[in-house]
Amino acid sequence: MGGRIVRPELSIVIPAYNEARRLPESFTRLHAYLSKKPFASEVIVVDDGSTDSTSAVVKAWAARWSAVRLVAGPHRGKGGAVRAGVLAARGEWIALADADFSMPVEEFDHLRDAKLGAFDISIASREAPGSHRFGEPFYRHLMGRAFNALVQLLALPGIEDSQCGFKVMRRDVALDLCLHQTIQGWGFDIELLSIARQRGYRICESPITWYYMAGSRVRPIRDAVTMARDLLRVRYNLLKHRYERRLVALPTASDLGHPTDDPDAEDTAEAHDAENEAEDQADVADVADVAAGGAGALTTFELRDGRSPKRE
């Protein structure tokens, strides 16, 4: 009789809105990459109320690749989809990724290298020394740099690229950030990193190779206005220190259930597995409520005071 089920070491969360066309290639690349790794992993795709066959594509892949999980919900925006995916993730490390994988999937190796150093969050950067970007129209790059100047002025000094969609962080950090998150749209990246800064987490910018992909969901003019509004909202919250209070106690890697060599535990392994499965099912409802901004899921966790995040 074996020990308890090993939870994934890595969860990759992919927010998806009408991505049925691009997901198959991304799944193919992910499968080739993860199948060579010596650790367990999962791929969580959050269908953000798509009107195309995004969910059907994910279900088809899940039928032949057990690591794939679908989280479906109404359209909230990229930030809301990321939040739902993080709260559903079970890995010790949680990675965020865009559905088009404009970053080669192998770059995750470099992002995860930060876990060996003194960092809590590793973010992909198209501007850090050693990075390379290909095919991006000049006007989009110019707009991005102008917006980043505002971001650095008002919220994140020293962060050269807050908007790249690829990030890796410890599970407890990811949950802490998402449970403080208030922005559901494109500006969520700025808020997550601002929360991290205000709460004392350490951020590393890792240079990547990045390719511009046609068909981006970002609408340069309309979304720029929305993100500017979100930036001002984050600035206000920072000035009011609204991100400093710890809302809930969070599960850490020690809570994830690793194999045990204790012979006395073997007789209860199946009971533990059944209990884990029941808890996972119960968590689905709680996660959905939290992702929607509700308070019901907070009863799942122990309320906690406003002390600074615990350091390991």
Beta bridge partners of 13: 44, 96
For tokens 């909230």, the residue is 76
pTM of the predicted model, to two decimals?
0.77
Question: Assign residue 261 a region: left if phi > 0, alpha if psi is -120 to 50, beta otherwise?
Answer: alpha
- Of 60-64, 78-82, 139-143, 158-162, least confident by mean pLDDT is 139-143
Residue whose entry in the numeric block shows the structure tokens 């220190």? 241
d(CA 128, CA 282): 42
Question: What is the C-alpha separation between 198 and 150, in angstroms, rounded?
Answer: 18
Q: What CA–CA distance (Å, rounded) separates 207 from 267?
A: 48
pLDDT at 268 over 90: no
CATH for 10-300 is: 3.90.550.10
Please choose, from the candidates 210, 118, 93, 202, the residue with its C-alpha nearest in 3D space to the C-alpha of residue 163. 210
Residue-level pLDDT at 267: 44
Residue 215: pLDDT above 90?
no
For the cut 70, the answer to whether the pLDDT of residue 33 exceeds it is yes
Radius of gyration in angstroms for the set of CA atoms belonging to the chain, rounded to a whole number: 19
Residue 139 binned pLDDT confidence (cut-offs 50, 70, 90): confident
Across the range 18-39, mean pLDDT stands at 96
- Mean predicted confidence (pLDDT) in 12-32: 96
Q: Which residue is it, tokens 């929305």?
A: 226
Averaged pLDDT for residues 294-303: 31
- CA distances from residue 276 to 36, 196, 218 in whole angstroms, order as listed: 27, 30, 39
